[in-house]
Structure 1
């Protein structure tokens, strides 16, 4: 009984793992073309609300930024037992959208609001050996982020956001030969504090702190397994740890800028997602360690109308060993490569596009043994368009 419970809990959570293993920095805006390098200091449009709200003090009196994004890729899981049918690539195309508005209230005070999704994936296991446990799952999450920024002086600004995060989790499995779909939703609060410093006329720095975020989705259903029917109340607790981000942007001249990041995420303290089965927690915290983020980007402005972006970023794995990972978090070291361009349509409006490729380190799952296998060379890609208007 305990073994079957572990099997189910691992599979239930694996469907949303790639959204929570590391933060998605991508929110469908121009910065994806930089692999999000300089995110806490760039502040080129209203999407700075999601990366450093203090950046609003660099924006025009009124500004709107919106974006559309598609996420795809290949997350292929192959079971070690060749007698069982493996799910193969479980990744579905996942669309997302974002919108941000910033407004100058006084000479020193700015207010804004953002609505965006940087958390969620669609997963389709299809007809496989574990269809009676899971076939499909979707996690859709949006964040509403009211924000304030205050300019202390010409070189120093502070910002803060209160984030209301709403998530919907659905699970479909085979019950007596028919698809059975369960749904749950949850609200989770989080907070963001930002500092923006103009170090010199050409160099600025940004620091952002994001608090942890806790989602709890309860699925209460009977799983029909070859060993018999079991009532397994499952609660998937999806948690993203607190993080710190430090960014620098340096304008070499009117045409060239370089930027970089150094970030930290508190995975060792926060641990793996907690999964509760019949009131007993399955805790994988001992597998986890803190993660580090670095990024470098370059922006080239050949004319007054064009901005060309390119960047690369690295996030370290939250696992101590890639040979002992969990079905609940199939991830590893991550490399991001981004490029894009932005065109100034009029003095008040611009449009852009960006693409990004995320390569994820392979990993092996050894427990539970009945579902041991590997995620070999998984990857994701992001494609988005964005539009900004100032008035």
Structure 2
């Protein structure tokens, strides 16, 4: 257990050092880059694979391991794209609708980032193993210029999660493995946007909402296997994140100046989705293994960000349930080299009429290629490259500043996500002791 404490401290320090990736390529703000091995086949068989590198997807993955297994990886995520204004308008009190103004093209508003992931499996005997995985599954940062056309709906947004997943796994029979885990998550979030003053000639005000908190979820899974096929089925629960923090409003002028304030002790809550994961690996020859995986995400749980007293309001999100489907292969090219490739398609949980510039998301294709070099009998080095192609999509959530007050100011958003893509480079190592 002292080793587990040391591993946790090391992994937490690594995540703090690297920083967190800021664009998801799975769905919305979910990051799936928890394994360089999995990235090479576009995450097509992780729920059915074994070892610490698959712990995030299925806690049964370490059941029956013979040696301590450690996995460490890092993925550099480089998103590119444009968020373009197509005629967004604002109506200040007593005035007609007018163009929102500002720079009509936001280039690469989603920040580059590096996502580390760590996992370890420790056998207690020939059937039972303990595991620990540390990752950042829901994290992103969008950063728009102060003069961007999107400033009234999204200025700077940051979400960082650290998921600590202790697990236990048992080889129940020669063909059945089972596992269960807790998911202890720390969340740190901040959302900011500009606020319009009563006259377009006046500089904008600003509001910043931020908070953090610890929350709890769980995971469970099984794997059924023989000499030719392994099927993995797992479930990761939804997590309700409850944050405590503050709201700061500044820069409002004239009759609006009375609204400038800082409120401490503001509470906020939102859900991240459950995942139902079904994966399979088919050994069709001594050298070739085919992989497939489907995941259902209950993103409809993320229907709003609810703000407690003294605000007692909600920021609507309106996400819908979504899915991903992937296929790929592993090919043993030589005694020391395994080659991989795969493709994944994922649908966006965002919907028309509710999509904003904070998370400019869309359906996407993920193409992956990579491999493993067995450097020594105990050390395997993984590398992968992924190219993610996003469909063009509308940015179209209508909102209002000072909603419900005599100075309510509607903003009718009309924008487009264009030419969005991401380049992802993953490196990792797996070692047994």
What TM-score does the superposition give when structure 1 sets the normalisation length?
0.84
Secondary structure of 2:136's partner?
strand
In structure 1, the residue corresponding to 2:40 is in which secondary structure? helix
Aligned mates of 1:134, 1:93 — CA distance in 2: 18
Out of 164, 167, 188, which is 1:144 matched to?
164
Q: 2:66 — aligned with what?
A: 60
- Whether the 8 Å CA contact 1:322–1:362 is kept in 2: the answer is no
Going from structure 1 to structure 2, the CA distance change for 1:325 and 1:183 (only over 3 Å counts) comes to closer
Contact 2:166 2:182 in 1 (8 A): yes
* Residue 228 (structure 1) shift: 3.7
Is the contact made by 2:27 and 2:347 (CA closer than 8 Å) also made in structure 1? Answer: no
365 and 124 in structure 1: CA distance in 2 versus 1, 3 angstrom threshold: closer
The aligned counterpart of 2:42 is 35
Q: Is the 8 A contact 1:20 1:239 kept in 2?
A: no
Aligned equivalent of 1:380: 422
Partner Cα distance (2:269, 2:345) in 1: 27
Q: Look at both structures and tell me which one has the larger radius of gyration over its CA atoms.
A: 2
Match of 2:346 in 1: 315
| Structure 2 CA distance for partners of 1:308 and 1:19, relative to 1, 3 Å | closer
Q: 1:103 aligns with which of 122, 125, 132?
A: 122
Q: Of 190, 211, 228, which aligns to 1:202?
A: 228
- The alignment status of 1:283 with 2:316, answered yes or no, reads yes
Aligned pairs (5 A) from 1:1-391: 21=28, 23-43=30-50, 45-57=51-63, 59-81=65-87, 83-86=101-104, 87-129=106-148, 135-170=155-190, 183-198=210-225, 200-217=226-243, 218-224=245-251, 228-229=256-257, 230=259, 237-268=269-300, 270-276=301-307, 278-285=311-318, 288-319=319-350, 322=352, 325-366=355-396, 367-368=398-399, 369-391=411-433
What displacement does 1:341 show? Answer: 1.2
**Cα distance change of structure 1 residues 236 and 309 upon mapping to structure 2, 3 Å threshold:** farther
CA distance in 2, matches of 1:184, 1:323: 27
| 1:151-185 superposed Cα distances (whole Å, 9 cap, x missing partner) | 11010011011011112224567898999987532
- 2:357 and 2:151 mapped to 1: Cα distance? 16
* TM-score, normalised with respect to structure 2: 0.77
Distance verdict in 2 for CA 1:27–1:339, change over 3 Å: same
Q: Provide the C-alpha distance between the structure 2 equivalents of 1:58 and 1:338, rounded to a whole number of angstroms.
A: 29
Assess if the C-alpha contact under 8 Å between 2:187 and 2:214 holds in 1. Answer: yes
Q: Retained in 1: the 8 A contact 2:204–2:252?
A: no
Q: CA deviation at 1:280?
A: 2.0
After TM superposition, give the deviation of residue 66 of structure 1 in Å.
Answer: 0.6
Structure 2, unpaired ranges of 5+: 1-21, 88-98, 196-202, 400-410
Label 1:49 to 1:290 Cα distance change in 2 as closer, same or farther (>3 A): same
Provide the secondary structure at the position in 2 that maps to 1:90.
coil
Asked whether the equivalents of residues 245 and 262 of structure 1 are also in contact (C-alpha less than 8 Å), the reply is: yes
Cα distance between partner residues in 1 of 2:370 and 2:268: 37
What are the Cα deviations for residues 77-115 of structure 1, in whole angstroms up to 9, with x where unaligned?
222237332433211111121111111112211111111
